[in-house]
Structure 1
């Protein structure tokens, strides 16, 4: 089975358990796109600057060590070579200031992480349905 849209999904979260559970929830929803994992904003930006093919979707946590998701989002959206990558904030926060700041910084969506695995499976279904099947995403990036 080919990946949907041929795009890679990049999960950026410092919690390895959250990454694994989200990856499993995506697989349970038949998302066969390559899923890459980075654990902080520094790793994310280093990857984006040196990768051969940019991801089609970034699921970004806010609270991480070294460079947090807020800083990474700002860096991505201020870079003309990266700004068209859709970035979905996926975090435990539901603070109105985090929501507001994320959208002001260019986030394409803000989602509070569900508390249960079944909620995560539903979230993965919604990610597949909207971001991979409904939305038209850029397929080619001029990164150099």
Structure 2
């Protein structure tokens, strides 16, 4: 009798556990799921052609001009028509880094490396928006470090 009562209790507990559904933790904020809010206005692009300070060491430079309508495909790269080594003197644009002419192994190439061909994979236009997170980056010169040989 005790075994039957224990077995009945076990089966009842298992059945109740399957029926009772747990509510998963809510992952979104106060907006209910599937609600539509008005989209924020698109930010204005910074197109003043002024080179900006980098936000952190080794940051790829941002694009200080409009690239709307630029073709960037396997067959064409409009960026290179101004920034490629042989065109910078006439265009006045800064030359792309010599690292863009190297393979992964450091071998120099005569033309831009295929892995560096799609510029917007690293370089982006700058929008006039406030930062999402505060940036406390300080350049070494601001921290009192003098360039080598300046003593």
Do they superpose with TM above 0.5?
Answer: no
Radius of gyration: which is bigger? 2
Higher relative contact order (CA 8 A, sep 6+): 1
Name the TM-score class by shorter chain.
under 0.3
Relative to the length of structure 1, the TM-score reads: 0.23
More helix by share: 1
